[in-house]
Amino acid sequence: MFDNVANTEYMVNVRARVERLKQVHYIAAIILFVGTLIFCSFYASDISLEHTSLSHYGIYKKIGFFWNASLFIIGITLLVEAFLNIGKYMKGSWLLYFFIGAIICLFFTAAINMNHRIHYYFAFAYFIGYTLSIFLFGYLLMKSDFRIGITSIIISVLSVVCPLGLVMYLHSFAIPEIAHTLFVFVWVSITKFDTQYRNFLKRFGL
């Protein structure tokens, strides 16, 4: 009897740890991205983010490997989040394949540097594909979860409008790329902590 109770408590603790890991594992990817960006900016101080693209880090001397490796890790994180979000909000949805396709383009963006023209096509496909996936996610979720649905749509629109506005103003891609990545991480955070987000909106009558 006592063994059964102990086993039950052990399984409950394991499940709690797994759920906690699901909630915070992506934070490591955020820290990695920010840390890598700071490191590359410091090491490649002759590269101005206002006049270039982040892809230049991928071909810059010794830091290229670190930059591209960080993109792979972020891609894996986004892939895990895609499976978790589809399983949580719309299990079995075909939308999962949209997310997978976009993330595969991110992998190719990291694997093929900007010395090859096809790099830009993969980068553009990831930008459009992942943004469209977030938009469709929100659209399909509107009826069952309006708050998360409309938030996803708003974030997807902002993740296009803001970077494009920055491109027109700065005539470079690095800062717009950072802005898009931040919107992606914001969306992942909201879907991850959806209960807390809903409670926050309720305070304002939303």
- In this structure, how many other beta carbons lie within 10 angstroms of the beta carbon of residue 35? 12
State which amino acid sits at residue 61.
Answer: K
Q: Report the 3 state secondary structure along 123-139.
A: HHHHHHHHHHHHHHHHH
Instruction: Please tell me the predicted confidence (pLDDT) of residue 115.
Output: 86
d(CA 151, CA 142): 10
Instruction: Please tell me the predicted confidence (pLDDT) of residue 56.
Output: 79
Residues of the chain with pLDDT under 70: 1-25
- In this structure, how many other beta carbons lie within 10 angstroms of the beta carbon of residue 37? 18
Instruction: Please tell me the predicted confidence (pLDDT) of residue 203.
Output: 82
Instruction: Please tell me the predicted confidence (pLDDT) of residue 44.
Output: 73
Contact 58, 67 (CB under 8 A): yes
Q: Which of 73, 28, 33, 75 is nearest to 54 (CA)?
A: 33
d(CA 91, CA 99): 14
For the record, the structure tokens of 134 come out as 């977030």
What are the strands, taking DSSP E only, across 13-66? none
State which amino acid sits at residue 199.
Answer: N
Instruction: Please tell me the predicted confidence (pLDDT) of residue 202.
Output: 81
Spans of all domains in the chain: 2-202
Separation of CA 19 from chain center: 19
Q: DSSP 3-state helix, strand, coil percentages of the chain (rounded to 5)?
A: 85, 0, 15
Instruction: Please tell me the predicted confidence (pLDDT) of residue 30.
Output: 81
What is residue 142's DSSP assignment? Answer: T
Which residues are CB-neighbours of 79 under 8 A, at least 6 positions away?
99, 100, 103
Instruction: Report pLDDT digits (tens) over 54-70.
Output: 887 878 777 788 888 88
- The sign of the CA dihedral 5, 10, 15, 19 is positive
